[in-house]
Structure 1
Amino acid sequence: MSDFDTHLAKAERHLARFSEGIVANQIGGEAVEAADGETFETISPVDLKPLARVAHGKTADVDRAAKAAKAAFPAWAAISGDERKKILHKVADAIVARAEEIALVECMDTGQAWRFMSKAALRGAENFRFFADRAPAARDGASLRTTGQINVTTRSPIGPVGVITPWNTPFMLSTWKIAPALAAGCTIVHKPAEFSPLTARLLVEIAEEAGLPKGVWNLVNGFGEDAGKALTEHPDIKAIGFVGESRTGSMIMRQGADTLKRVHFELGGKNPVIVFADADLDRAVDAAVFMIYSLNGERCTSSSRLLVEAPIYDAFVGRVAEKAKAIRIGHPLDPETVVGPLIHPVHEKKVLSYFDVARQEGATIAAGGEKVQGPGGGCYVAPTLFTGVSNDMRVAQEEIFGPVLSAISFKDEQEALEIANDVDYGLTGYLWTSDVTRAFRFSDALEAGMIWVNSENVRHLPTPFGGVKSSGIGRDGGDWSFDFYMETKNVAFATSAHRIPKLGG
């Protein structure tokens, strides 16, 4: 039996449990259907066939979950950081033990290739371990001295929080948000994306089986217009951590305004990879290809704009085109597959629409630009490269969120910077040059929350993760996560008898 056949057989066994009943919400430690009994269907992008019926949560379900999180908060917040560390490490251990199951289910639910998803669960476990180890010191602050006074700061968990996660790599991104919230001492209500809800169900089960107290982690499936809106408006929810589209982030801010919700947004991107003629071009080609065509291009940090210095433009984009044409498209469980089907027919339609837009705007399609009849007949789209693009074109300005790259020529450093910054987004940037002074100068002026120099996206968990402009608010990673999920308190102690003004005689 081939590796593909083995993966497929195992995936079918794991998916069978979801097709046998309803994928439930999890509220107060209990698996429950929606209050009104309604469900929605989730399909596989591989063949568009149903995978499961999912509980369709709405206002009543979110209200019940928020109250469960509120009730569980005092006890969870009172647990010592050392005890939370132990529990979160047990969660990580349980994730590792079921890593293959998680990956197989996620491949079939999202269309992401096994070669990438096989590591996603392990990255999720790493997120839990990282924040588990920080839990004992999460409340520590600073001692700040001045004349006649010592100030002592401390942090405490903000309370129940809402976490809304996206459909691309949903398992890993859920752990990235939920692990620091739990380590800080918060309780949560999690609403996963409706396009890929299955591994969220696995994750909350794993956590509770590993010893997380009931009600600390609540799961409500549903849509943005009902469950999402109810969560962002609920008075018991003190903060919202959201990963998704910029327009949805704006909506969440409006919905949370009346209750003064704290928000943390990781939103869209139209990230540039800037290649100067003096760069290591072999490595730059590989990095540019990897950062747009891995994970089906459905990633916020993808390098979707390729800016290349004019003297090397034709040769460089020619090499990218050759590699794009050679990328293996196929079933996500095939170990040889690089690009699998896009998440859903709705999203596939959006991505395909940009091929006509590119032609109308005068760009050249140097690779791809078409739908592919992949295994199962699902949402397969060829890795695509647009050349001859100017930065005012829609394909250079709008987030396509697929395996689609727009190549733009620049004449000098100043023009490269102007093009790179001339978008609404500012999540990441990738700079390739052997000139170290240019690297410092350019990265300092580039409008992005994260920049990699002579590298693709290589994450170091203690570093801040987030964007500027329409790409987000706030930072994840290290103690930056605790700044969001915790309140800071300052206590001032007088060390001498200072003069107190006398009023009223």
Structure 2
Amino acid sequence: MTERFGHFIDGTWRDPAGGAYFASTNPATLETLYEAARGDGADVEVAVASAARAFDAPTWRGLTATQRGRLLRRLGDLVGEHAEELATLESLDNGKLLREMRGQLASLPEYLYYYGGLADKIQGSQIPTNDLRILNYTQHEPLGVVAAITPWNSPLTLTTSKIAPALAAGNTVVIKPSEYTSRTVLRFAELAAQAGFPDGVVNVVTGLGNEAGAALVEHPGIAKISFTGSTRTGSAIASSAAARFIGCTLELGGKSPNIVFGDADVGNAAMGVIAGIFAAAGQTCIAGSRVFAHRSVYDELLERVSARAKSIVIGDPMDAATELGPLAFEAQLEKVRSYVGIGVDEGARVHSGGGSPDVALPGYFFEPTVLTDVTNQMRVVREEIFGPVAAIMPFDDEDEVVRLANDTEFGLAAGVWTQNLARAHRMSRRLDAGTIWINTYRAMSPMSPRQGFKNSGVGIEHGIESMHEYSRLKSVWVNTNEEPVGDPFVMRG
């Protein structure tokens, strides 16, 4: 019998109000993994009410920042203790390599330790005034109930990057995970309860985006929305938040350039290009999907990348020998396949890949694909594909590649490969993206802030700066003068 999960609300499991469930499928084998509650507005109402009560309750509001930090560190310990279980669940759910998920889960406790340590380090300031009898200081306060809407490509990592600073700042949360990857987020909520977080501080409502997700975004009890996903959905969320004058943090789409100059170590650059677009089957918002190679190294880079793409082992993500797993669900596979066809219709050439591999599993597999004869105006170069498809283009000089790289609606990340130190720093200034990698790609840390430019998002995730995304600043003025206050309408000399 298929295992079935309800919502996790107020520290316990709760059946969906409407009685409906949906199935989650293993994208490699197409087997049903489990069923999760199909939430709606009624379930969201219960979850937000639970989070609101917990926010005001002395069991949470009465904790010191240091005590909140201890809870986060305890949760980090539990995530570490259950890393193998969580990695396995996530790999089964979204098709990422088990060995990759083991690496992610091994580092995930660091996020919780980091924000646990930050909880009591966010301080106000004393502000100088023109009257020595007036004391003015600032203090940071939590916002209230935070809605975290998270995607399917890295469920636990992206959920943790939202709720860890939110909880450290003293908020409570309601999480709506992707309907494709609910299981590990539900397990995470169980671990939070085990770590000692009071009931109602961490809640999870599962369901579809246009049902549970929309109800959560529109709920008047939400003080802040944090979302990772498509630019289109992010725009709708931003409009809803603006209409209610609440904040939102949005990490959205990307079409990141990966630039290889003529003086680069081409072998290293090729590995960086491969990691940037084929890791996680290209299903990352920071994927380096637009590759610009200086004409002097274009042929060599193309050959190296294509040769490695052809040799990538595609198969069961649970197998240690596998290097590329399936796409997460059928619609994503069809989207990637469609975009390759669009590219060919536009005049692009499939240099390698471009179709379904010969795999002894029925899942949503697609070959690592390299497109050439592309221009920066083609849809396959301008629109986010979110799959293992690289478009490789030559360029002649720095000014040209800066113009091409910045000619996009997105601004999430960029890579630069060069041995010229001056050029590296120059490019970091000239490229219009929130994260710039020099002679590496996909490096990240909870300590380093991330921000998307242009249509890639609003707000900051990671780093000390993200704590301010989940708090409000209050200015306090205190009159220390004990003399009687004079009549304000009587002129004094």
TM (norm. structure 1) is: 0.93
Matched residue pairs, number?
485
1:20-419 correspondence runs (5 A): 20-74=2-56, 75=58, 76-138=60-122, 140-148=123-131, 150-419=135-404
Q: 2-side partners of 1:273 and 1:441: how far apart?
A: 15
Give the SS at the match of 1:137.
coil
> Any conservation in 1 of the 2:258–2:416 contact (CA below 8 Å)?
yes
> Any conservation in 2 of the 1:34–1:57 contact (CA below 8 Å)?
yes
Q: State the one-letter code of the partner of 1:342.
A: L
Q: State the one-letter code of the partner of 1:37.
A: G
Deviation at 1:491, TM superposition (A): 2.1
Give the SS at the match of 1:311.
coil
Q: 2-side partners of 1:309 and 1:328: how far apart?
A: 29
Deviation at 1:20, TM superposition (A): 4.2
Q: 2-side partners of 1:348 and 1:189: how far apart?
A: 30
Q: 2-side partners of 1:283 and 1:142: how far apart?
A: 46
Give the SS at the match of 1:478.
coil
> Any conservation in 2 of the 1:22–1:33 contact (CA below 8 Å)?
no
Alignment RMSD, CA only? 1.7
Q: 1-side partners of 2:361 and 2:427: how far apart?
A: 46
Structure 1 residues 155, 375: CA separation in 2 closer, same or farther (over 3 Å shift)? Answer: farther
1:428-439 correspondence runs (5 A): 428-439=413-424
Q: State the one-letter code of the partner of 1:344.
A: F
Q: State the one-letter code of the partner of 2:54.
A: A
Deviation at 1:504, TM superposition (A): 6.9
Q: 2-side partners of 1:53 and 1:432: how far apart?
A: 45
Partner of 1:16: none
Q: State the one-letter code of the partner of 2:98.
A: W
Q: 2-side partners of 1:172 and 1:502: how far apart?
A: 57
> Any conservation in 2 of the 1:28–1:218 contact (CA below 8 Å)?
yes
Query: Larger % of helix: which?
Result: 1
Q: 1-side partners of 2:224 and 2:395: how far apart?
A: 42
Deviation at 1:255, TM superposition (A): 2.7
Q: State the one-letter code of the partner of 1:144.
A: I
Structure 1 residues 248, 276: CA separation in 2 closer, same or farther (over 3 Å shift)? Answer: same
Q: State the one-letter code of the partner of 1:135.
A: A
Residues 390-449 of structure 1 deviation map (CA, whole Å, 9 limit, x = unaligned): 100111101000111111111110110011000110000111112222222221121101
Residue segments in structure 2 that go unaligned for 5+ positions in a row: none
> Any conservation in 2 of the 1:159–1:238 contact (CA below 8 Å)?
yes
Give the SS at the match of 1:22.
strand
Q: State the one-letter code of the partner of 1:66.
A: V
Residues 114-148 of structure 1 deviation map (CA, whole Å, 9 limit, x = unaligned): 1211122222211111101111223x122332443
Q: 1-side partners of 2:49 and 2:218: how far apart?
A: 14
Deviation at 1:347, TM superposition (A): 0.6
TM (norm. structure 2) is: 0.95
Q: 2-side partners of 1:79 and 1:56: how far apart?
A: 34
Residues 177-212 of structure 1 deviation map (CA, whole Å, 9 limit, x = unaligned): 111111111000000000111111111011101211
Aligned residues with identical type, % of pairs? 37
Residue segments in structure 1 that go unaligned for 5+ positions in a row: 1-18
Partner of 2:405: 420
1:404-483 correspondence runs (5 A): 404-483=389-468
> Any conservation in 1 of the 2:266–2:297 contact (CA below 8 Å)?
no
Question: Greater CA deviation, 285-294 or 249-258?
Answer: 249-258
Deviation at 1:492, TM superposition (A): 3.5
Residues 32-79 of structure 1 deviation map (CA, whole Å, 9 limit, x = unaligned): 111010111111101212111110000000011000000000232331
Structure 1 residues 490, 363: CA separation in 2 closer, same or farther (over 3 Å shift)? Answer: same
Q: 2-side partners of 1:148 and 1:242: how far apart?
A: 44
